[in-house]
Structure 1
């Protein structure tokens, strides 16, 4: 029995997570006289600002008159009293630090406050100046402002309102506004309630419940105690029917048979569209469980509008079942924004090929073949070309790198990295990359290499379009440690490097929000268990971030999982992220062998699904670098078969 790497039910952490620095996180407020340096004062200021302690923030900021990063000192001083600060004071800050990342952050904060207070005059003036424009709440406020001025924003709102976890106060307020002025119908509102149910956003459903004619208590009971709602049956009104449908979806999460029984019993009381929506709720849950019946349930949804995630689940279940016609139809029914995702371009090409539409399939594969990454690699192989490395660009000059060394934003980022403030450091670094061309990005990546900030080197180099330097994108630090650890147990070093690149981006003291540490992101219990299994008698938890110890424990754990899962890198990679039990459970629902790419695509956890794709794509490129020859991602993915299949039975 293996220890589970991740806490059950927690978000699965990968390289995309915010890496928490143990040193910074361990800081506690201290008396002013106890500060050893201005950096300690700054960290205390940051904490005070985040706690909305305006008086403490003002006192600490006053001690930092000559600090190296004045824009952040002033930001942390102003942020706790943003709601009471004068308009002129905020404008003065934005003018003083115009063009900096932190000024855009303050404008984001100010716009949220303006939206909450319905100050549309100032909001409309400031919103076009918000550079990143990555806040769903602000997008909802912007549409709300337009709607209040009589503009038709219904189509934009429907396209935007797909992520209830990010709605905050703004998006339910937008929905209410659109209902009030007639741009949204009751169907739009119930669609949002069903979406909130699918994505576990009960708070959103509660906020928009008054916009329906349902009893709020009964509707929320459908979320919290759905069996009681199902026991009463569908009722006679539209609101009762919709509440019943929500309860079906909630019940199906834990007891699919009970949901199907209730739906079958109550189906005659629902109209055709309501029955299709009810089956969509059941199919959605069945898809997460990877039940073989899921494609049948999806067929009963006919052509009703689906949420983006429901579209994806419908397509994945058809793919897993080998229903290529149903897969094609599912992809073609997606909105254009989904159809343009590399995954669905690739799988549509595969469906076309099965149907004998070779030229159409090849056109789709060609459109992906220039992309690096999972689907670009698979598309190349569909076209009969192996995965190879691109030619290296012309070497960078010292002058090109020197420009980056003199970049004020990159210097601010390095200051934050030195203090283990990775969130602020990454924000500053990425802000400076926005307008860089390929040569400048390569130079910035090289500057990061020189400063030993390898995660920024990788992420920066990954942004280039035409000039690709895979020595930057796929670095191989600690080569002696890696060679010794992998050779000792005959483990594929390319795979291990691919995993580390995804796990920690080579940040030695990386710490995830669930407590995983080091290059290979080991959980404390896993590290202790592996140390005991391999006879590392002098191991202590404090050693987990030491490179040699972390790699030794991580590679041994990975090797144990690989051996337990019959040598499948696809299965073992999933196990490393989600725990060994889950890949076995996902395999147990297969009715036939499937190619590894199909298995990876149908993993129900989005984090693990992307993790497996990224790790094995990385490993394929690392193998090309290490071996100096073309590679096959398909061969690395292999074939996944239900337990009990013999090798001779595999395709």
Structure 2
């Protein structure tokens, strides 16, 4: 579609503004300052009734400086475990907007000594607030730790969020203890889903194991999962008490000295170990441990010395061997995954093993394995859009184009990575549909009057982002699409860009493009794009993923600003580009941050011969890793399509990052150019420099 009217709409809203710390909404909204402009071909924006009846926006409370200082000090002290600043501030903040939060920061550090009466008093003082439900979560964890099921069962029915698996496990343990309920299957599933087990799930599982209500084979399954995840010591500490005497020592050897343990078994003859139920489990754990560290050696031992293991055990070990090889991009991975199915055709591998089986098969272009693995993932309900796309591609490659194209048509869309690739695969380019009409002013005003959103915006204004995000998300419960779009618009107008984008993404049935793909700081980003010869759409796509356009954000590792620059990187780039007056306190300045980040990104693009996929990977994971990853093609196929490269990035965060940045960039390119785009062309092919040169010369 033609979208020439869309960019002016976005620019009128965003301009070059930064994060507004004040919270006044008394000024008219930007969208109301001029007639709304819809994308060409969109339905007319039906706002006449709103325009005829002026809507007075409520004035958002502004926190006085003296109160703001008390609030921030209370929050920081509470994080350190000190409740006193919050206790001292409460009398001075009585009746103010953020009083509930200060009360929460006062009680949170004291929960290990608190009583049910203390919690009940808080609940009476701050009913129907997010902080009450946040405290319920904390208090239920404490009650579970105490095994106080009487109070736990009084509090739990009022718990709204119920999104903490540890609380869920404590609830199941309570049902088991107080009602003798059969909860083994539910506990086991939650327990298996947690990499660390967690206090609640470990507690519930231990209670069932102590009573013999959880079968021994479940214990061994969980033990194997701990080993798979590289948490063997945790497995020993938690589960050895439920095994025969001396288990802890044997388990330690299977983890820390698996080679010697296995070679000793080979010398003595493995038949006795395989015949004994517990010793066989130790043997499997040792092979799983070796498979993580040295898949080749594990494969040789399994094939040559331990082939008499039961078929399901061999299948699991082959799967772990294949997984380790796939994660290190070894070409043997496909063959080892195939051995898994050969060992036991009925074996059901974990989702992680199936996912990496599909990825390794993509690199090898083994489309039969791709089809098999993706089909199973889809049937299991794996929601990753990668699997329908790759299943469709496998169907086409294996001679089923009608079924493949039908599946591609189901997933094609202009917004996400695989939706855009499906559009490309159908022979079309990515065109943006008509945007939703802007949210009516009256609806935005209604959301602005809600106390939860007011508290959230006040917290954002104090740069207490973690608490602000939680309050905001809690306040979105139960909103319909129109109300959700209005809440997103409120965040946009307050220039809280991450809530603007994320809330807009929850709207179903259409996209408000000016919300979901905001373009603030246009002057600074455009200037940096030209100066460093970095595609502006790519720059916007990367910033949208890095910081959601929050200029003063700082990550837990110390990265700062729009482009999330590490201090050392910023200093190095400043020196390279001749920014002689640069100092660290400038890193959050929008202009400086984008200038330095764009220069760094431009250097990565030059290093990787213009590949945006490799540059994005380098920006997230450091340039050294993509230098290795770009050689992931097999000897007979050294060049890989960019989508296959992206799907095989071993680090989950970087894999997701590259996909999102490139999908964002494709949308921004459509907005900026007004023309349809191709994600496949943007990705290109990826390979070693020699392979790329040879490809270009053909």
> TM-score w.r.t. structure 1 length?
0.88
Is the contact between residue 184 and residue 214 of structure 2 (CA under 8 Å) also seen in structure 1? yes
Instruction: Tell me whether 422-431 or 245-254 shows the greater mean CA deviation.
Output: 245-254
Task: Report 1:178-257 matches (<5 A).
Answer: 178-180=208-210, 184-202=214-232, 204-205=234-235, 206-213=237-244, 215-233=247-265, 236=273, 237-257=276-296
- Structure 1 residue aligned with 2:317: 278
Question: Residue 378 of structure 1 is aligned with which of 421, 436, 443?
Answer: 421
- Structure 1 residue aligned with 2:536: 493
Offset of residue 56 of structure 1: 6.0
Offset of residue 184 of structure 1: 3.7
In the alignment, the residues of structure 1 paired with residue 89 and residue 138 of structure 2 have an alpha-carbon distance, to the nearest angstrom, of: 21
Is the contact between residue 253 and residue 285 of structure 1 (CA under 8 Å) also seen in structure 2? yes
- Shift of the 346–54 alpha-carbon distance from structure 1 to 2, 3 Å rule, reads same
- Structure 2 residue aligned with 1:579: 622
CA deviation profile, 1:33-70 (whole Å, cap 9, x unmatched): xx983333333333443344456653454454354311
Task: Report 1:54-453 matches (<5 A).
Answer: 54=83, 57-148=86-177, 149-165=179-195, 167-180=197-210, 184-202=214-232, 204-205=234-235, 206-213=237-244, 215-233=247-265, 236=273, 237-268=276-307, 270-302=309-341, 303-334=346-377, 336-370=379-413, 372-453=415-496
What runs of 5+ residues in structure 1 fail to find an aligned partner? 1-34
- Structure 2 residue aligned with 1:615: 661
Question: SS at 1:521's partner residue?
Answer: coil
- Shift of the 111–439 alpha-carbon distance from structure 1 to 2, 3 Å rule, reads same
In the alignment, the residues of structure 1 paired with residue 192 and residue 672 of structure 2 have an alpha-carbon distance, to the nearest angstrom, of: 43
Offset of residue 412 of structure 1: 0.7
In the alignment, the residues of structure 1 paired with residue 88 and residue 124 of structure 2 have an alpha-carbon distance, to the nearest angstrom, of: 24
Question: SS at 2:630's partner residue?
Answer: helix
Is the contact between residue 137 and residue 166 of structure 1 (CA under 8 Å) also seen in structure 2? no
- Shift of the 136–341 alpha-carbon distance from structure 1 to 2, 3 Å rule, reads same
**Rg bigger for which structure?**
2
Offset of residue 522 of structure 1: 0.9
In the alignment, the residues of structure 2 paired with residue 336 and residue 116 of structure 1 have an alpha-carbon distance, to the nearest angstrom, of: 38
In the alignment, the residues of structure 2 paired with residue 565 and residue 201 of structure 1 have an alpha-carbon distance, to the nearest angstrom, of: 36
CA deviation profile, 1:62-100 (whole Å, cap 9, x unmatched): 454354311112212222333443323323422443332
Instruction: Tell me whether 338-347 or 241-250 shows the greater mean CA deviation.
Output: 241-250
Is the contact between residue 170 and residue 204 of structure 2 (CA under 8 Å) also seen in structure 1? yes
Instruction: Tell me whether 119-128 or 393-402 shows the greater mean CA deviation.
Output: 119-128
Question: SS at 1:301's partner residue?
Answer: helix
Is the contact between residue 298 and residue 314 of structure 1 (CA under 8 Å) also seen in structure 2? yes
- Structure 2 residue aligned with 1:596: 642
- Structure 2 residue aligned with 1:49: 78
Offset of residue 490 of structure 1: 2.2
In the alignment, the residues of structure 2 paired with residue 221 and residue 420 of structure 1 have an alpha-carbon distance, to the nearest angstrom, of: 49
Offset of residue 519 of structure 1: 0.6
CA deviation profile, 1:133-187 (whole Å, cap 9, x unmatched): 2211112222333444344434434443344345322212222344455554333
Is the contact between residue 246 and residue 281 of structure 1 (CA under 8 Å) also seen in structure 2? no
- Shift of the 558–511 alpha-carbon distance from structure 1 to 2, 3 Å rule, reads same
Instruction: Tell me whether 287-296 or 172-181 shows the greater mean CA deviation.
Output: 172-181
- Shift of the 175–307 alpha-carbon distance from structure 1 to 2, 3 Å rule, reads farther
In the alignment, the residues of structure 2 paired with residue 348 and residue 129 of structure 1 have an alpha-carbon distance, to the nearest angstrom, of: 44
Is the contact between residue 474 and residue 622 of structure 1 (CA under 8 Å) also seen in structure 2? yes
Question: SS at 1:37's partner residue?
Answer: helix
In the alignment, the residues of structure 2 paired with residue 161 and residue 350 of structure 1 have an alpha-carbon distance, to the nearest angstrom, of: 35
In the alignment, the residues of structure 2 paired with residue 310 and residue 132 of structure 1 have an alpha-carbon distance, to the nearest angstrom, of: 31
In the alignment, the residues of structure 1 paired with residue 137 and residue 672 of structure 2 have an alpha-carbon distance, to the nearest angstrom, of: 45
- Structure 2 residue aligned with 1:465: 508
Is the contact between residue 413 and residue 425 of structure 1 (CA under 8 Å) also seen in structure 2? yes
The 4+ residue runs of structure 1 with deviation greater than 4 A are 54-57, 180-183, 335-338
Question: SS at 1:82's partner residue?
Answer: helix
Offset of residue 254 of structure 1: 4.1
> TM-score w.r.t. structure 2 length?
0.83
Is the contact between residue 190 and residue 212 of structure 1 (CA under 8 Å) also seen in structure 2? no
Offset of residue 415 of structure 1: 1.3
Tell me the number of residue pairs that the alignment of Structure 1 and Structure 2 aligns.
Answer: 617
- Shift of the 54–541 alpha-carbon distance from structure 1 to 2, 3 Å rule, reads closer
